[in-house]
Structure 1
Amino acid sequence: MDSSNHKKLEFDRVSAYAAGLCMSAPGQDALQGLAPCLGREELLVELERVLELKSLLQEGSSLPFSTLPDTRPLLVKIGMEGNRLEPEELHDISDLLQASAALRRFLAANRESWPRLDSLGEKLWLDTFIRSAIRTIIDEDCKVRSSASHELKQIRHALGDDRQLLLRRMEKILDHCRRSGWLMEESVAIKNSRLCLPMKVEYRQRIPGFVQDWSGSGQTVFVEPAETLEIANRIQEGEIHERREIDRILREMTDRLRPDLGNLSYTCELLAFFDSLVGRARFALETASVLPAISSSGELRLIRGFHPWLLISHRDREVFPLDLELSSCEPVLIISGPNAGGKSVAMKTIGLLALMLRHGYLLPCSESSVFPFFSEIGIEIGDEQSIENDLSTFSSHLRQVRRILDGAGKNSLVLIDELCSGTDVEEGGAIARSVVEELMRRGSKAIVTTHIGELKAYAHEREGVVNGAMEFDRTALLPTFRFIKGVPGSSFAFAMMQRLGFPQTMLDEARSFMHEEHRALEGLLADLHRKLSENRLRGCELESAEARLALREQSAADSEASLAKQRREQKLKAVKEIQREVEGARREIRDILQDVRDAPRDPRILQEARRKLSARAAEAEKRTAILHEETAHPPDLSIREGDLVRILDSSATGEVEKLKGESAVVLCGNFRVTVLLKNLEKTSRRQTRKADKAASHPKGWSAAPAPVESTTLDIRGLSGDEAVPRVERFIDAMHRSRMHSATIIHGTGTGVLRRRTHELLKRHAAVKSFRVGAWGEGYDGVTILTL
C-alpha cells in the first residue's frame, strides 16, 4: 500500500499519538515503523497480544519497568573493534538486560492469563553473567568502582592519601597567610587543576611558589606554593594512571560484550516491540477499543464504529458512531448525500479501521462487529492534480483508479471518493459503472461516494451494489452524520443555499431551471429521508418506552422479592418462637414429672400433676396456633402432582405424589407424609441440591435407618443414647406434618430401647398417648403412639 495513503486516512496521526503512549524512544520508533501483518493468523496473534496487554493494564497490574534505555547507538559502538563504552553506557546495557529478565519473569508468572504475551517473553534473552559483570565494575552513580581491579584500588588509595596530605599542607599555609593579611580571599582557589592561594598582588613574593593565574582586575594573584608542588605533581601523575586503568577496564568489558552483540540486538528489538504493544494497548484504553471478530469469509459488519482520530481530537464534542455493512452478496456500497454531510468521513473511517487492524490495533467499535483481513487497501481521495506532469485533476483521478484496479483482488478494500465526478456527468456515470463492474469481477469490497444520479440508479438496479445515504435534518438544515443503508441520498444543494443566506428569488429561479423529473425525484428522496428520520425517532421512543417498562417490571419484581423476604423472616421468627414455646413446655413437664417421682404416691398429687400438664399443653397448643395463624401462608393452588416442593418451616423437600383436597402426599426420601398445601412451596432441583449441600440431613427430620413404613421409625441395633435423640426428632417431624399416629420399632431384646423410648414418650408434649403393639402389629417389639 502506498505510504501516502497513511496520511490521507490520518493513520500517521493515529500512530504518532499511540507512539507517544510508549515508554521509550525505541518503542515509539517500533510502533511508527510497524509493517502490516501479512496474513490472518499473524494478525490474530498480534491482536490477542494487544488485547492481553490491555486487560493487564485495565486490571491495574504494573509492568516491571516504566522506561527503557535507548541502546541502539551503543550496539553500533560495540560492533566496532577498538571502541569502548563509557560507564553510563554500560549502565544502560545493564538496565536493558535487567528489564528483559524482569519482563520474562513477569509474563511467565502469569502465563495462564496472558499466553500470547508469555510466548513473546520466552524469546527474551536471559543472561545474568554480563549484567552481574557490569554491576561489579559500575556503581549506581555510573562510576567505575575501586574494586573493579586490584591496580585501580591501589592507585585510588595512594591518591586519597596524597590529597589528604596536600589539603593539610595548604590549610597550614593558608592559615599563616590569613593571619598575616596577605590574602584577597579566605579560601583556597583551584586554577589549572592546581590548589592556589588568592594573594594580594603586593604580597605575592612573601610565599615562594608559581603563579598560575591573575584576576581580571589584576589585584589578585593565584600562587601555587612551592612547598606543595611535589605532592601536587604526584597527584597529577596518579590521576593519569587512574584514567589509564579505567580505560583498560572499560575496553575489557566492551570486548566481553561483543560476542553477544546479536543477542543484545535481538533483546533490544523485542523490548521495543513489547513497548509498541504497550502504546497500542494504552491507545485502546483511551478510545474504548475492542477486538472485533476477524472474518474469514470477507464479511464486514461495523457496529457503532468511531473514527479514532476524531475521538482523540474532538474530546469535547460529540462524535457520531457509524453502522455499515459489506458482504459477499453486496460487496459494493455507493454513498451519496450532501457535501460536508459525512460521506468522506464514513468512507475514511472504514479505511482507517482496516489499516489500523492490519497494523495490530484494536478498534473503537462494538464487540459484535466483524472485520475481514484486507491484504490490499486501495484509496483515491482528494485532488491529485499534477502540474509537473501536465495532468488535470480528472486525468490524475483516472490514473489513480487504474493503479487501484491493477492491485485489486479478492481480499482488497477499495475506497474512491467522488468517482468520475470531474468530467461530463453522463460520461462520468458510464465510466463509474464500468469501474464498479470491474471491482465486482475482481471480488473486491468497495465503498464509493458520488453525486451522480445515474450511479445511484445503477446501484438501485444492480444486484450486489447497494445504495447508502448520509441523513440530513431539513428542519435544522444540518447533516446528522447518520448512515442510512438501502436508499440514495439527496445533495440538498438548495437547502445548503438557504442555510448560507442566498436570496429566496435565486433559490426559486434555480429550481425552475431543473428538469421536472429531477425535481420530482429530489422531492421523493427528501420525503423518503424525512419518513426514515421519523421512523428512527419513533423507534428510539419505542426503545425508551420498552426500557421504562422493563424498569417498572424489575421494580415490581424487586418489591415482590422484598415482600417474600419479609414473609420468610416473619415465619422464621415465628418458628423460633414456637421452638422456644415447645422447649419451655418440655422443661415444665420434666419439672412436673420430677415432682411426681420425688413425692409419695398421693392421688391428689397425681391429679394436680395431670391438671398442670393438661393446662400447659392447652396453653402451648393455643400459642402455637396463634403463631401459625399470624404467619399463615396462602395455599399454592398451582402445585401439581410431580412438582418438587419444600415443607415450610423446615428444609425438608420432596416430590408431590398425590393431591387430596387442601393437602398433598409428599415423598421425602423414604418418608411419605401428608401436608397441607399452605405449608408447601414450590422449589427447583437447583434449590434442592443447594439445600442438600448446605446440610447433610433435612433440618428436623430423622436420620435413622430407613423405616419400613412412612410413619415408622426403626431403632433396632442402636444404643439407648443413640436412639433417644432420633426418636425425639422423629416425633417432632411427625407432629409438624400433622400426623396423628406413628410406630416405633425397638424390638424386644433386653428391653433397654423400649424403656428409654417410653420414658421419652411420657414427657414429650406432642404425644397424647402410647401403647405397645397388639397381636399382628409387632406385639411388645413396637410402640404405637398417638399425636
Structure 2
Amino acid sequence: MLKRVLNILEYDKVVEQLSEHAASSLGLQLIKSLEPESRLEKVKEWQRETDEGATVLRLKGHFPFGGITDIRASLKRSKIGGMLGPKELINIAGTIRGTRIVKNFILDIVEEGTKLPLLSEIVSYMEPESQLERSIESCIDDSGHVMDSASETLRSVRSQMRSFDSRIKEKLENIIRSSGHLKKLSEAIVTIRNGRYVVPVKQEYRAAFGGIVHDQSASGATLFIEPQSVVDLSNKLNEAKAREKHEIEKILNKLSEQTAAAADSLLDHVERLAKLDFIFAKAKYAKQIKATRPKLNDKGDIYLKKARHPLIPADEVVPIDIILGDGYRAMIITGPNTGGKTVTLKTTGLLTLMAQSGLHIPCEEGSVINVYKEIFADIGDEQSIEQSLSTFSSHMTNIIDILSKVDHESLVLFDELGAGTDPQEGAALSVAILDDVFYKGASVVATTHYSELKAYAYEREGVINASVEFDVQSLRPTYKLLIGVPGRSNAFEISRKLGLPERIIEQAKSQIDTETNQIDQMIASLEQNRKQAEAANQEANQMKAEIEEQRNQLKNELEKFEREKRRLLNEAEAKAKEKIQKIKAEAENIINELRGYQQNPEKIKEHKLIDAKGRLEHALDALSEPEAKVNTTAKTNEERTSFSPGQKVKVLSFGQKGHIVEKLNPKEYLVQIGIMKMNIPASDLKAIKDEKETKPVVNVRTAKSATKTELDLRGERYEDAMIKVDRYLDQALLSGYHQVSIIHGKGTGALRKGVQNKLKNHPRVKSVRFGGAGEGGSGVTIAELK
C-alpha cells in the first residue's frame, strides 16, 4: 500500500493504539513494522491468529508474558565467543522460564477441549532449555549477583575476603577509638579512598601513623592515610578480590559457552514469542474497541454492519452500514458539508486496511471485507505550498497518478471529486474520471456536491447513490448513511429555518432550471418514501420477530409435551410389564408351594397355609387389576376412591377383604376386616362385588379362631414355645397388628431369653422391650411389628 494513503486514512494512529497492548519490545517491533497484506490466504491466516488470541482472552482473561525480554543481542554475542554479564544471563533464564509458562498455558487450554491450531503450532516447536536455565539460576540470583554457591573456589575466596575485611575494620576501629590518637585525627571515622580503607589524619601528625597517603583535603590540612598496621591486610584483601574477579569471569564464561550452544534454539523461541506477543496485542486491541472478525473475499463485496471509526470516541461515533457489491461496485455519496461524507469514506478505507493487517474491525458480527491489492485515496486539501499548486491542481495531480495505477483489484476513494474549479467543468470531469475508474473494474466510493452526479447512478448499471442524512428541523446532521437515496443540499430549507425572507427564497428557486427542480422533488419524494418504508419495515420485522418467538415457544412446548408423553407411556409400560412378570412369578411359586402341601398334608403348618393363601389371593387380584394401565378418565378414579357404608372392599396393601363401616373424610374410611376395625386411606381400597369369590382349586385349612394380641407361653416346653412364637407372629402379621405381647413369666429366664432372641432376629419385628408398669414387667416381652 502507498505510504501516502496510509497517512491519509490515519492508519499510523491505529498502529499507535495497537502498540499500547504489546507486553514486550518483541511484540512492539512487529507492531511498528505492521503493514496491510494483499494476499487473501495470508490475510485469512492473520485473522485466524487474532481470533484464536481473542478466544484465549475470553476463556482465561489474560496471557502470561511476564519475565520475557529481547535477548537476541546477547545470544548473538555469545555465539561469537563474547562473555555475557550476570544481568544478561538472568534475562536469558527469565525468558526460558517464560517460554515454558507460555507453552504450558496454550497446551492446557487445548487439552481442555478448545481448538487453537495456529497457536498450538507456534508453541509446539518451543522446547525450553531447562538445563541452561537451572545452570544460570544456580549461579546468579535475581538481582544479578554471582552467588557464593556458584563454585567452591568462589565460596573459599569470599570467605577469605570477609575475614580480611573484618580484621582491617577491627584494627581501624581500635585506632580511631584510641584516646592517644583522637587528637591526631580530623574525625573519628573510617572511610575509603581508591578502594582502600583510610583514616583522616591531621597534617602535623603524618609521621605518627606511617603507612600510605591516598588522598588529602582541599586545604591540605587533612591527609587520608592507610595506617601501616593494615597495609598488609589490605594488600591481601585486594589479592583476594582479584581472585574473586577471575573466578567470576570463569563462571560467566562457562555459562556463556552453554548459552552459545543453545543460542540457535533460543533465537527461534524469541521469534515465536514475538509473534505471540503480537497476536495477543491484536486480540487485546479488538477487545478494547469491541471489534469482530470479518468474513473475507476477493470478489469485491463489502458489507460493514454498524461500522464505527476506531479513532472517534465511542460516545460520539455514529454506527453506519456500508455496502459494496451485490450488483454494484461504485457508490456516489451526496449531502451537506459536515454531514459525515468524509468520515464514511475514511471508515471504509481504514477498516479495509485494518482487516488486511489481521486486525478485527469495529463492526457487528457477519461483516464482510474484500481484500484489495491496492487502495487509493484522494481525500482532503493537499495543496502543495512548495510547488505553488492550487487545491484543484493538487487533487488533479493525485488523481492522474491514481488513474495510471488502478485496476480491478483496487479500491478507490474520492472526496469531493471535481471540486475547486468551475462547477460545470468539474461535474463533467468527475463523470469522466468515475467512468474510467469504474470500467477498469475497480471498486469506487466517491463524495460530491454536484447535482449532475446524482443522476450518474441512475444512468449506469453497477453504481448506486447514497447520502448522509440532515435534520432540517435541528439544522444538524445525523451522520447516518442512507444507501439508495441521493442527497439534497437543503439550502432553501435551511435558509428558511434561519429566517431568510420567503420572497428571496422564491426568487432563488425561480433561477433554478425545471430539470433541477424535478430532480430535487424526486429526491424529496424518495426520502419520504424511504422513511415510510423503513418505519413499515421496522414494524414488520418487530411483528415477525414476535411471531417467530411465539412459534418457537409453541414448538418447544409441543416437543416438550410429546417427549414427556412418550416418557410417561414408556415408563408406565415398563412398570406394567415388570409388575405383571413379578406377579406371575409370585403366583406360580405360591401354587407350586400349595401343591407341595397337598402331597405332604401331615407336614402342613396352619400359619404357612394362611400366609400362602393370602399371598396367592393378593397376586391373583393384582393380575386382574388394571394397575398396569394408565388411568385415562377422571370417572374411573372417582369410582375407585368413593365408597358407601356396608360396601364390600379389598384392602390392597394387606390383600384382605372387609366392608366399609363409616366414611371419616373424603380421603379416609373406617373398614372392618374380620374382628378388627382400621382407618384405611381411600386410595388403598378397591370395591369388590357382593358375591361368592372363585377360589383356587387348592385344599387348604384356614385359621380356626381369631388371633389375639397376646401369646401366653407359661408352662410350655422351650422347643414348643419357639414353634408357637413363629406361628403366632405369622398370624399377627396377617391380622395387621402393629404390637403384640409374649407372656413368658420370670422363672429361670431361659424361656424369656429364647423369646427375645427369636423376636430380635425376626425380619418383621421392629423393636423389642420388657413390659412396663401395668403390662407385666419383665415377665412379658412387647414386640413392635413392621
- After TM superposition, the score normalised by the length of structure 2 is 0.71
Q: Give the equivalent residue in structure 2 for 1:90.
A: 89
1:108 CA displacement: 1.4
Q: Work out whether residues 379 and 414 of structure 1, in 8 Å CA contact, stay in contact via their aligned partners in 2.
A: yes
In 1, distance between residues paired with 2:436 and 2:615?
A: 93
One-letter code aligned to 1:703: E
Q: Kindly tell me: are residues 87 and 735 of structure 1, through their superposed partners in 2, closer, same or farther at Cα, counting changes over 3 Å?
A: closer
Secondary structure at the aligned position of 1:212 is classed as strand
Q: How does 1:641-652 map to 2 (within 5 A)?
A: none
Q: Is the alpha carbon distance of 1:735 and 1:193 closer, same or farther for their aligned partners in structure 2, counting shifts above 3 Å? A: closer
Matched, 1:685 2:562: yes
Contact 1:470 1:489 in 2 (8 A): yes
Between the aligned partners of 1:492 and 1:757, the Cα distance in structure 2 is 92
Q: What CA distance in whole angstroms lies between the structure 2 residues aligned with 1:220 and 1:201?
A: 5
Inter-CA distance 205–395: structure 2 relative to 1 (3 Å threshold):
same
Q: Does the CA-based 8 Å contact 2:214-2:224 persist in structure 1?
A: yes
Structure 2: distance between partners of 1:469 and 1:288: 27
Secondary structure of residue in 1 paired with 2:578: coil
Quote the residue 2:755 is aligned against.
none
Quick one: distance in 2 between partners of 1:362 and 1:128? 37
Q: Which residue of 1 aligns with 2:686?
A: 767
Structure 1: segments with no counterpart, 5+ residues: 565-643, 645-681, 743-754, 782-787
Q: Which position in structure 2 is the counterpart of 1:599?
A: none
CA-atom RMSD, angstroms?
Answer: 4.3
Does residue 326 (structure 1) correspond to residue 324 (structure 2)? The answer is yes
Go from structure 1 to structure 2 and tell me whether the alpha carbon gap of 1:12 and 1:499 turns closer, same or farther (over 3 Å shift).
farther
Q: Which amino acid aligns with 1:28?
A: L
- Offset at 1:331? 0.9
C-alpha change, 1:552 and 1:34, in structure 2 (3 Å) is closer
Of 477, 480, 483, which aligns to 1:482? 480
Q: Deviations over 1:408-447 (max 9, x none)?
A: 3333222121223233333333333333333333332211
Deviations 1:719-759 (A, max 9, x none): 679986997696766796627999xxxxxxxxxxxx99994
Matched, 1:53 2:53: yes
1:66 alignment partner, SS class:
coil
Structure 1 residue 241 displacement after superposition: 2.6
The 10-residue stretch of structure 1 (464-473 or 158-167) with the greater mean CA deviation from structure 2 = 158-167
* Of 238-247 and 758-767, the range deviating more from structure 2: 758-767
Q: Which amino acid aligns with 1:39?
A: R
Residues 92-119 of structure 1: CA deviation (Å, up to 9, x unaligned): 1222222222211211122241333212
Match of 1:7 in 2: 7
CA drift of 1:506 comes to: 7.8
**Does the 8 Å contact 1:178/1:186 carry over to 2?**
no
Secondary structure of the residue aligned to 1:704 is: helix
- What SS does structure 1 have at the residue aligned with 2:178? helix
Q: Within 5 Å, give how 1:297-696 maps onto structure 2.
A: 297-310=299-312, 314-315=313-314, 317-388=315-386, 391-493=389-491, 514-519=512-517, 521-522=519-520, 524-526=522-524, 528-529=526-527, 532-533=530-531, 536=534, 684-688=561-565
For 1:322 and 1:410, locate their aligned partners in 2 and report how far apart those are by CA, in whole Å: 26
In 1, are the aligned partners of 2:38 and 2:374 still within 8 Å (CA)? no
Q: Secondary structure at the match of 2:478?
A: strand
Alignment partner of 1:767: what SS? strand
| Alignment match, 1:170 | 172
Q: Look up the SS of the partner of 1:338 in the other structure.
A: coil
For 1:404 and 1:174, the matched residues in 2 are separated by 87
**Aligned counterparts of 1:67 and 1:527: Cα–Cα separation in 2:** 66
What CA distance in whole angstroms lies between the structure 2 residues aligned with 1:779 and 1:336?
Answer: 105
SS in 2 for 1:703: helix
Paired letter, 1:428: G
- Once the two structures are superposed, residues 667-702 of structure 1 have per-residue CA deviations (whole angstroms, 9 ceiling, x without a partner) of xxxxxxxxxxxxxxx973322466689xx6689867
The question of whether the paired residues in 1 share the 8 Å contact of 2:292 and 2:361 is answered with yes
Shift in CA distance, 702/203, structure 1 to aligned 2, threshold 3 Å = farther
Paired amino acid for 2:147: R
Partner Cα distance (1:409, 1:726) in 2? 94
Q: 1:183 and 1:504, CA in 2 relative to 1: closer, same or farther beyond 3 A?
A: farther
Greater Cα offset, 731-740 or 212-221: 731-740
User: Does the 8 A contact of 2:38 with 2:371 survive in 1?
Assistant: no
Maintained 8 Å contact 2:86/2:144: yes
Question: What is the alpha-carbon distance in structure 2 between the residues aligned to residue 497 and residue 217 of structure 1?
Answer: 89
Deviation of 1:345 (Å): 0.5
- Looking at structure 2, the residues matched to 167 and 272 of structure 1 have their Cα atoms a distance apart, in angstroms, of 52
Q: Where does residue 107 of structure 2 map in the other structure?
A: 108
Instruction: Say if 1:104 and 1:689 are closer, same or farther in 2 by CA, change over 3 A.
Output: farther
In 1: Cα distance, 2:498 partner to 2:264 partner: 66
Once the two structures are TM-superposed, the CA of residue 84 in structure 1 deviates from its matched residue by 2.4
Return the alpha-carbon distance in structure 1 between the equivalents of residues 93 and 499 of structure 2: 69
Equivalent residue number for residue 139 of structure 2: 137
Q: SS where residue 460 of structure 1 aligns? A: helix
TM-superposed deviation, 1:222: 2.8
Separation (CA, whole Å) in 2 of partners of 1:495 and 1:190: 89
Corresponding position of 2:70: 70
- CA shift, 1:298, in A, is 3.1
Deviation at 1:514, TM superposition (A): 4.2
In terms of mean alpha carbon deviation, does 413-422 or 143-152 score higher? 143-152
| Partner Cα separation in structure 1 for residue 82 and residue 233 of structure 2 | 34
The separation in 1 between residues aligned to 2:206 and 2:387, in whole angstroms, is: 82
Q: CA deviation digits over 1:569-600, x for unaligned, max 9?
A: xxxxxxxxxxxxxxxxxxxxxxxxxxxxxxxx
1:25: how far off? 1.9
Distance in 2, Cα, partners of 1:45 & 1:104: 20
The Cα shift of 1:394 comes to 3.2
Percent of aligned pairs with the same residue?
Answer: 28
Give, in whole Å, the separation in 1 of the partners of 2:211 and 2:503. 104
Contact 2:472 2:494 in 1 (8 A): no
Deviation at 1:513, TM superposition (A): 5.0
Secondary structure at the aligned position of 2:488 is classed as: coil
Give the distance between the partners of 1:509 and 1:151, measured in 2 at CA: 106
Deviations 1:517-555 (A, max 9, x none): 4355445534543564566567668878999x899999x
CA distance in 1, matches of 2:626, 2:399: 94
Q: C-alpha separation between the residues in 2 aligned to 1:756 and 1:501? A: 98
Q: Is the 8 A contact 2:211 2:227 kept in 1?
A: yes
1:116 partner amino acid: L
Give the SS at the match of 2:266.
Answer: helix
Structure-2 separation of matches of 1:203 and 1:230: 22
Larger radius of gyration: 2
8 Å Cα contact 1:471-1:479 kept in structure 2: yes
Distance in 1 of aligned mates of 2:394 and 2:153: 74
Helix, strand or coil: the match of 1:430?
helix
Equivalent pair of 2:307/2:362 in contact (CA under 8 Å) = yes
